[in-house]
Chains A and B, each alone.
Chain A
């Protein structure tokens, strides 16, 4: 009887992995095709776009840049200065000091001649208490607003900024990001172009600034980082942004906009109640909730994506920091999918319910688990000497080849579309990275993902159980008191 069960499980798993690997290949092929079509169209359209007018035009929308800062004392002044020098007409920079333990606020007060004001605003979204709203007494810094508040995490800081923002568009960025001077103009264009659909959010590409030369807020010379993890992330970012997000944006199925550089329509963000501070994946969760809201309200909409490289950031090259980042991403993904279970395969939610959600569920969330099971399965087959072990070894080899293909394609893609890494040596390094990555770095990423799953399971009770239950509608978040301590 036991042996019967054992073989039955083997058989079922076998089928599952066959179907899975088949779909992985088909999905990636479709994604490659979609992304290249999207890229072609984008490059063509961009040829005819004149960004010169947008800075001075009275028709261009106003932008509130929200930059949360926590213990950023060291570079905050320089960072704020470069934000203020962005080329755009109507914009404000809202820096939110999220209860820093260091001198972040003090550092800002003197150079920007800040004074506390009687700024009146309506705390539409519940946040940690605000200690003060500062503005400059010098007209040349009139665009700057600094909010000082009690610590409440990044999402909470952004929510405070959303409450205070005065403009139609919100730009949520990391304060230490390097932004190209024309970044706002380029990101605003999708908002201005659509007529039959409302553009609710625009995502951008994040470039890796490690080891590059930076001048006047733009990267002038690109170099691939020295460390293995740094190089890995270059390839990974190409894959994620140039392939993945381009493809998803083609079918309007984007589920994630990078938290370090994302633009949103203020009214919609306010309508859904802003960020949800009780999840670690607040950037993904907000987009999913906004999209859900649009479906529930039955308004035609779009989440757009701009593939130009306009924002750069230093990525962690230490294994320790990276592992925590990946762990957090995994938990964020699981939590978002849990919170929005209602989307799962629900045709009411269009592309995102029928395609994006299942994709994230199978490949992003359960990817590491499936990979490890697949490996164990093959090992068991080899161990019991089952003939079909050969098939699965073949499939494993093919998955490796597929990953080579996808990565190579993304790099080639970058070469054709942008060609930032001009040095041939860099290209060789990236190719070497592509070949070794599935064997050297990928197992680590899988392991960090599994740890994320484990940490999610451990975090029971309190918000954990709320997250497990999920939101009934997109507007549910507004009815929750997220500041109470549970």
Chain B
């Protein structure tokens, strides 16, 4: 079973995503801020990371930096309410994230993208 780490500070969003992905048979883990996120990347060794960009304590960019350094092969999907042309999002793409899902989003659409990234 594939492990997915979800880093998102909004509890409802993350549980929606989790609910949807569980239905597709993934093992999911939720953390709610950047510090926990970095710890979880180390401890869990996930197959996929879904992260927000703006979060308490550490920005998504930092997490992406960290993940790309320690687990360069783990794909990352960015989930954010920022537009695609924002500097931060461009920076994330530059760091090599696999996909970007702008909020507002449809969880079903996210599930499809997850499937594509993991196959």
Size category of the B interface is: under 10
Q: Which residues of A contact B57 (CB under 8 A)?
A: 215, 220
Give the docked Cα–Cα distance between A327 and B57 (Å): 39
Q: Which residues of B contact A216 (CB under 8 A)?
A: 59
Contact digits for B58-75, partner A, Cβ 8 Å, 1 yes 0 no: 110000000000000000
Q: Chain B: which residue is nearest A216 at the CB level?
A: B59
Please tell me the number of chain A residues within 8 Å of chain B, measured between CB atoms: 3
Q: Which residues of B contact A215 (CB under 8 A)?
A: 57-58
Give the docked Cα–Cα distance between A215 and B57 (Å): 8
Q: How far is the CB of B62 from chain A (nearest CB, A)?
A: 9
Q: How far is the CB of A55 from chain B (nearest CB, A)?
A: 11
Q: Chain A: which residue is nearest B81 at the CB level?
A: A52
Give the docked Cα–Cα distance between A216 and B59 (Å): 9
Give 4 A-B contacts (CB < 8 Å), ordered by A residue.
A215-B57, A215-B58, A216-B59, A220-B57
Q: How far is the CB of B91 from chain A (nearest CB, A)?
A: 13
Give the docked Cα–Cα distance between A26 and B65 (Å): 57
B contact patch SS = loop
Within 8 A of B (CB), among A205-260: 215-216, 220
Contact digits for A102-124, partner B, Cβ 8 Å, 1 yes 0 no: 00000000000000000000000
Q: How far is the CB of A328 from chain B (nearest CB, A)?
A: 38
Q: Chain B: which residue is nearest A221 at the CB level?
A: B57
Q: Which residues of A contact B59 (CB under 8 A)?
A: 216
Q: Chain A: which residue is nearest B57 at the CB level?
A: A220
Across the A-B interface, the 4 shortest Cβ-Cβ residue pairs: A220-B57, A216-B59, A215-B57, A215-B58
Give the docked Cα–Cα distance between A220 and B58 (Å): 9
Q: How far is the CB of B14 from chain A (nearest CB, A)?
A: 22
Q: How far is the CB of A317 from chain B (nearest CB, A)?
A: 27
Q: How far is the CB of A304 from chain B (nearest CB, A)?
A: 28
Q: How far is the CB of A74 from chain B (nearest CB, A)?
A: 26
Q: How far is the CB of A295 from chain B (nearest CB, A)?
A: 45
Q: How far is the CB of B38 from chain A (nearest CB, A)?
A: 13
Within 8 A of B (CB), among A344-377: none
Within 8 A of A (CB), among B3-58: 57-58
Q: How far is the CB of A309 from chain B (nearest CB, A)?
A: 16
Give the docked Cα–Cα distance between A350 and B58 (Å): 48
Give the docked Cα–Cα distance between A220 and B59 (Å): 12
Q: Chain B: which residue is nearest A52 at the CB level?
A: B81
Contact digits for A407-428, partner B, Cβ 8 Å, 1 yes 0 no: 0000000000000000000000
Give the docked Cα–Cα distance between A153 and B59 (Å): 39
Contact digits for A88-102, partner B, Cβ 8 Å, 1 yes 0 no: 000000000000000
Q: Which residues of B contact A220 (CB under 8 A)?
A: 57
Contact digits for B84-96, partner A, Cβ 8 Å, 1 yes 0 no: 0000000000000
Give the docked Cα–Cα distance between A135 and B57 (Å): 35
Q: How far is the CB of A218 from chain B (nearest CB, A)?
A: 10
Q: How far is the CB of B6 from chain A (nearest CB, A)?
A: 22
Give the docked Cα–Cα distance between A220 and B57 (Å): 7
Give the docked Cα–Cα distance between A454 and B59 (Å): 52
Give the docked Cα–Cα distance between A215 and B35 (Å): 13
